[in-house]
Amino acid sequence: MADVIEILKKYSEDVDKEIEEALSTLEPSSLFESSGHLIKAGGKKFRPALTVLSCQAVGGETDKALKTAAALELIHTFSLIHDDIMDNDDTRRGMPAVHKKWGEPLAILAGDTLFAKAYETIIKTADENIAYERVIDALRVLVDSCIKICEGQALDMAFEDSFEVTKDEYMNMIYKKTGALITGATTAGAIIGGATSFQKQQLDLYGRKIGLAFQIQDDYIDLTGDESIGKPVGSDLVEGKKTLMVVYALEKANEEDHDRLIELLSAGNESIIPEAMDILNKYGAINYARSVAYDCVIEAKEALMTLPNTEARDSLMKLADFVFTRNA
């Protein structure tokens, strides 16, 4: 774990500098401050690390990937700001959510601003001796990620009213909601680093698989984590979210348990958590989700093994494990 923290920290200052520079000219001060709020609050910087490491893993120079890495973090932050409005969440990274501090109108604008700044930042890569074609390719990947994020979020919302979500539908939803930007991070890094088409494909696969594992782990933490990380345990059950655990249990349960689980998930209050957990456990839903996430991590690491043996590849291996072992 200490290793992973070091990997994530290694370029985070450089990335922060790029972001700070990108936001420095914003006016008025209300927009400048609201846009920078969550960036200042920290965050793991997981996606920028993936971008830099993917660039390095195919032999690219670190410096050339920093703006793309910053763009990834800007897109991630934009999506957090808008998600918090949509989910009406009060806090993020231990701070008040942007819309809680500045109101919804400015929070919508702050998100939009970061979204545009992400593209501005990656386009500036074109001034750094990187072929236009690569910049356009990286942009294509990022835009595609952004569209998928919106689709994934809309699917997640649509699933709230349905109890017939299949595993395939769930995997498609989390690939879009969470996996697409993680895939975008690895693939854009690979492109900027000058990856061959095979290398790009492998880093795309790696990103896709750890992205899926990342979201499954998020849902697992929600059920089993401790409250100290900010979110109350079991909040996804209260909100009726269709996590892999719920999807699996609804599929495997006998009629009585199936109908009871639907009843519990529809209640919308915390008192249902223990009984809902019992049903999930009865059908081994939590172990099942763990095994799916584990398989994803294995596949991600297999994809990496096709790349040259470098320190960057080693770090990406550790990040794949981290996705499955983290508890926050």
CA distance 206 to 196: 15
User: In which element (H, E) is residue 96 found?
Assistant: strand 95-96
CA distance 313 to 52: 11
Site for its own copies in 45-74 (CB under 8 A): none
The phi and psi torsions of 203 (rounded to 5 degrees) equal: -75, -30
* Residue whose CB is less far from its own copies, 80 or 297: 80
Q: Per CB under 8 A, does 168 bind its own copies?
A: no
Q: Per CB under 8 A, does 90 bind its own copies?
A: no
List the structure tokens of 222: 């929600």
Query: Residues binding its own copies: what is the number (CB under 8 A)?
Result: 42
CB of 59 to its own copies, least distance (A): 23
* Residue whose CB is less far from its own copies, 113 or 187: 113
CA distance 295 to 67: 32
* Residue whose CB is less far from its own copies, 94 or 132: 132
Q: Per CB under 8 A, does 140 bind its own copies?
A: yes
CA distance 212 to 206: 10
Selected binder of its own copies within 54, 68, 77, 153 (CB under 8 A) = 153
The phi and psi torsions of 96 (rounded to 5 degrees) equal: -60, 140
* Residue whose CB is less far from its own copies, 95 or 108: 108
Name which of 205, 211, 186, 196 is nearest 65 in CA terms: 186
CB of 95 to its own copies, least distance (A): 20
Name which of 57, 59, 60, 105 is nearest 85 in CA terms: 105
CB of 120 to its own copies, least distance (A): 5
CB of 320 to its own copies, least distance (A): 28
| Candidates 38-46, 62-70, 138-146, 219-227; binding stretch for its own copies (CB under 8 A) | 138-146
CA distance 247 to 250: 5
Helices marked H in 125-196 = 132-159, 167-174, 180-192
Positions in the binding site for its own copies (CB under 8 A): 26-28, 30-31, 82, 85-87, 104-106, 108-109, 111-113, 115-117, 119-120, 123, 126, 132-133, 135-136, 139-140, 143-144, 146-147, 149-151, 153-155, 157-158
